[in-house]
Structure 1
Amino acid sequence: MNIAFRMSPPTVPAQHLAPIELAQIEVFDEFESAVQAWTELAACDSVASPYQSRDWVRLWQAHVIPHAGGRLFIVVGRDAAGTPLFLWPFVRGNLGPLRVASFVGGKHATINMPLWRRDVANSWAVSDLRNALRSVAAHVPDLDLFILCNQPLAWHGARNPFALLPHFRSTEDNFVLPLGMPGAQVVEREISTTMRGRLRNKERKLSKLAGYRYVRARTAAEVTAQLDAFFRQKAAKLTAMGVKNVFAEPGIEDFVRAACRDGLAEGNALVELHVLEGDGEMLALFSGIHDGRRFTSNFNSHTLTDHARFSPGLILMQHMIVNAADRGFQSFDVGPGAARYKSFFCKELEPLFDSVVPLSRRGRLVAWPLRLLRAAKSEIKRNPALWAVASRVRRWLRPTPPAES
């Protein structure tokens, strides 16, 4: 199957606005202390990717940080009138002897832009951002580095100011599908008549299964049953692949369950679950999080039984796209990564970048080699031949479990 990719616009043109001057920096290590600033920013024309939402950070603090050994670290910038200009939610931790801050959510947060007032994001120059970073360093002198991954160059028409600093391409890009029309029209626009026919034939075969349906979880009982099946499926698949199960890390399962229940009773779950099921089996599951404009798919799984030959994952994704478009979302993405299914519908590449931002003298000494190492990893992963070699070496080095007697 040949896929033609469309590149997203790399950034938003500078609008030559007068920069809004930063007058004050506040640093909080408790979620509740930053809620008022979060509320004020959310009420104005501001932008942030969904993984920087209040509820995501609140639940991560409650369920994961106590096990991971880090600390919440929230930076708020204000103007002379005390009005918040931005809010950066991070987690502090250690990288060897270094003290670093990174985005909340780790690998589970697939696209990261912290909360900015739109006019600030579009008007700040690199000097404004460096001034803010110097203020952060003065407030927290023991912090060495920001290590910031999977950042978009722009979000909903606002520039990402962190792109003004030295950065390098993330190991993987994002795949995006513009919506802006009824779901059926989106599918017709993106998928050929022949391929739509093949998917219809496959779904027709699945529909013969008892109880076959597509469902978006709306009750706590549905969430519990679907996540029970997901964690079983995912563990079995990752074990078979010899890959570490990130969902087995302390606190992660509790976090996922809480995020899928949060807001569910009001019809607006923080993390939505979309499922294809039949014959008493979960055929496929995709989760998603949104900010009201972009619907971002997160974790997923599909059956390992013979039903997998009917492509339940692709069929489920088509249902999700129709659902998202009909609900008025402007775009849909499947998250970073080069899996074939991601480019089946989502053909627009959204470049992502990483940053290593030094704050201390020690941070400045290691920033350049860290950038070099991470950039090299990105280049290796983007080169199929090099990545194949690296994957083989990694498998050779992986410990072999002792044979059972």
Structure 2
Amino acid sequence: MVKGEDRAHRPRPPGSEICHTRSPGGIQRTPSAPCLPVGHFAFRGNRSRLAIPTRHPLFCIVRKNCQHQPSNPLRQPRRRFLKFLWQVKWRQRFGRPAITSSEDLLAMPALSLRFGFFAEGGGDALADRKYVGTPFQSAGFVAAWERTRGRLKRRTPLWLVAEDVGGVAAVLPLEVDRRGPWRVATFPGETHANANGWRARPGFAAPRLTAEILAAAARPADLRIDALDLRRMPDTAFIGPDFDRRPAIEERFAISLAGGLEAVLARGNAKRKRKKFRSQQRFFEQRGGYVFQDTPPGDRPTALATFFDQKRSRFAELKMPNPFADAGIKAFLGDLFAAPGIDTRLYCILGGGGIKAMMGGIVENGVFWGMFSSFSDDADADVSPGELLLWNLVERLADEGLELLDLGPGEERYKRSWCDRVIPQYDAILALTAAGSLYVAAARLRGQFVRWVKTDARMKSAVQRVRRHLRRS
């Protein structure tokens, strides 16, 4: 050997060259394969070998006895850092199994599940069999939303379907919304859905979602989804570690109906509630009495029109934005409460020639899910017709054998007085592309700001003053 010759460039016996190549399982040694020229990455993907040229031998990730490994020991930490970046960034791109058709879904050996995204057909799967979950992911609710609000906002309906040997095991209804430059998959219903999650076969545990499962399921469907933004989930067992999970801004309040009305009253403020109920009875008896009823289907359009008028007057008085005035919401509620196959209820207190209070919702699996409520802001408002409605509603639902009355998210004084259950909910967000990472960062900042405003009385008052000023201008 000539003095001064680098030991790394000694001649090697044939077949002794060892390079690292890429495979789905990680880095593998391939003694029989010739080494690439200096400054090349070697990847062995699913279908072909890929070489990416570089301009420096430091970027060649090789073993100690590779022919063109740099001999300077000070460069070892830099190579290890580059190796780490390669494993984290490039494995996600080149290490996934190839999927060429919608039938070739990602297989889950541990769960024996296959996942796939479908733009249509998921609702048919829900309608064919009895699935367990919240009614806000049922076929009737999602169909009413798609026909009205979803179509008006040009959102694309999407269904994530999990299949096992017995067929469709679970369905997750979603919709793809265009938010600026991002395409974001969310639950349908927006804030009009109390809770969200899978609709699964009875006895079937909700499958766990990861970024790899979602990306592989979206590939055969030729979908571009930058991020998943999932809100108001009471159960996050199906949320994988890739998601950024945080408590929702608002908790959900509910009344347990076990034991009937007397048991509900015994949990707190029974004396005050009975005294107020007797006062309300006397008040309406002097004015001809009142009627508590579930509005018949033929009278529901008129009752809903009264509800929208009451909400418009109430929010105008508070000088706050009215969420029920958004485009498509009136059509959605009208479609939902007229649709067959879903047990919707519209309870009202009728007295004094009109509707004094009302609450609309859905009954499923022994739970009444209250979606909205209102009361008339007139001279009779001082007797709290809303609490009179709640008294009669608890009594009616308990007599029917229902287990729970869900009053939805958001803290109100009457909820604290009547409810014995406070159900925490969670939001989860996941970026699927580089652009989605920017959306996730922006969503985090917005969530922190909203939580700060809602928990700080002075900040909340300042934001409300700004809103009033903007509405006047």
**Are 2:234 and 1:146 aligned?**
no
Distance 1:228 1:281, change over 3 A: same
**Are 2:400 and 1:400 aligned?**
no
Partner of 2:117: 27
Contact kept? 1:171, 1:379, Cα under 8 Å = no
Partner of 2:216: 135
Superposed displacement of residue 84, structure 1:
1.7
Of the three residues 132, 141, 145, the one matched with 1:47 is 132
**Are 2:461 and 1:388 aligned?**
yes
Of the three residues 304, 326, 342, the one matched with 2:415 is 342
Partner of 1:198: 276
Partner of 2:33: none
SS at match of 1:94: strand
**Are 2:358 and 1:285 aligned?**
yes
Sequence identity (%): 25
Superposed displacement of residue 19, structure 1:
5.6
Residue type at the aligned position of 2:380: H
Superposed displacement of residue 361, structure 1:
2.5
Residue type at the aligned position of 1:69: R
CA distance in 1, matches of 2:265, 2:381: 22
Residue type at the aligned position of 1:259: L
Contiguous gaps of at least 5 residues in structure 1: 1-17, 154-158
CA distance in 2, matches of 1:131, 1:315: 52
Superposed displacement of residue 395, structure 1:
3.1
Of the three residues 137, 147, 156, the one matched with 1:71 is 156
Contiguous gaps of at least 5 residues in structure 2: 1-108
Superposed displacement of residue 56, structure 1:
0.4
CA distance in 2, matches of 1:98, 1:225: 39
Superposed displacement of residue 108, structure 1:
1.3
CA distance in 1, matches of 2:467, 2:410: 19
What does the per-residue CA deviation read over 1:326-363, in whole Å, with 9 as the maximum and x for residues that have no partner? 22221112111122122221132111111112222321
CA distance in 1, matches of 2:324, 2:441: 32
Partner of 1:214: 292
Residue type at the aligned position of 2:337: C
Distance 1:202 1:169, change over 3 A: same
CA distance in 2, matches of 1:390, 1:239: 16
Superposed displacement of residue 311, structure 1:
0.6
Contact kept? 2:182, 2:439, Cα under 8 Å = no
CA distance in 2, matches of 1:47, 1:29: 22
Distance 1:140 1:242, change over 3 A: farther
SS at match of 1:47: coil
SS at match of 1:389: helix
**Larger % of helix: which?**
1
Contact kept? 2:117, 2:218, Cα under 8 Å = no
**Are 2:400 and 1:331 aligned?**
no
CA distance in 2, matches of 1:366, 1:257: 34
SS at match of 1:250: coil
Of the three residues 176, 179, 185, the one matched with 1:101 is 185
Superposed displacement of residue 205, structure 1:
0.9
Contact kept? 1:171, 1:382, Cα under 8 Å = no
Contact kept? 1:275, 1:286, Cα under 8 Å = yes
**Are 2:348 and 1:275 aligned?**
yes
Residue type at the aligned position of 1:198: K
CA distance in 1, matches of 2:156, 2:361: 26
Contact kept? 1:214, 1:275, Cα under 8 Å = yes
Of the three residues 222, 243, 248, the one matched with 2:325 is 248
CA distance in 2, matches of 1:295, 1:60: 20
CA distance in 2, matches of 1:197, 1:352: 35
CA distance in 2, matches of 1:291, 1:203: 31
Superposed displacement of residue 98, structure 1:
0.1
Distance 1:318 1:381, change over 3 A: same
Contact kept? 1:170, 1:378, Cα under 8 Å = no
Partner of 2:309: 232
- After TM superposition, what 4+ stretches of structure 1 lie above 6 angstroms from structure 2? none
CA distance in 1, matches of 2:342, 2:175: 24
CA distance in 2, matches of 1:382, 1:59: 35
Partner of 1:5: none
The higher-RCO structure (CA 8 Å, 6+ apart) is 1
Distance 1:233 1:339, change over 3 A: same
Larger radius of gyration: 2
Distance 1:209 1:367, change over 3 A: same
Superposed displacement of residue 190, structure 1:
4.3
Superposed displacement of residue 290, structure 1:
2.5
Residue type at the aligned position of 1:98: W
Contact kept? 1:137, 1:359, Cα under 8 Å = no
Of the three residues 252, 258, 275, the one matched with 1:180 is 258
CA distance in 2, matches of 1:176, 1:230: 22
CA distance in 1, matches of 2:218, 2:123: 23
Superposed displacement of residue 120, structure 1:
4.7
Contact kept? 2:251, 2:425, Cα under 8 Å = yes
SS at match of 1:133: helix
Contact kept? 1:98, 1:144, Cα under 8 Å = yes
CA distance in 2, matches of 1:383, 1:21: 48
